[in-house]
Structure 1
Amino acid sequence: MVKSTLGADGGPDAPASPLEIALLALTAENADLRLRLAEAQEHCIEMAVDAGALQTEIDALRAELAARASGVR
């Protein structure tokens, strides 16, 4: 956790150390990566739903084809 103190004017007492700057940068990058992961997971769910619908359609078409093929013979 980044600890800072405020001066009398409400601003920081001292400039952030390189370690604090690196920690803030990593925190921002982590937040961005979490957001991108959530978006990718949402896309995966949408694709899974679409794949299920397509599989249902394929199964129906195969059944129809099999019914027609057995009726022709």
Structure 2
Amino acid sequence: MIDSDPIDRISAAIMDYLAIRPQAADSLEGIHHWWINWAGQEAPLEMTQLALESLAAKGQLQVRLLAGREIWSRAPAKQG
């Protein structure tokens, strides 16, 4: 079983980044390398993928294909 604590921490870091930069959008690799301050304890890329998928399942992120690459961004606010 996968320990969810690292995924929760990565998810929180992603949402913190988007709180400051709500229009940001990037690939898995870009998010992993630029959005998260690893403080010398970088998790595997697969953990960031799981965090992104978890946030998308909760409706917090969306993913689009752009030039054949998945680009992740904040999901639009739900209407009323």
Same fold, judged at TM 0.5 (above): no
TM-score (structure 2 length as normaliser): 0.26
TM-score (structure 1 length as normaliser): 0.29
Higher strand proportion, which one?
2
Decide which structure has the larger Cα Rg and report it: 1
More contact order relative to length (CA 8 Å, sep ≥ 6):
2
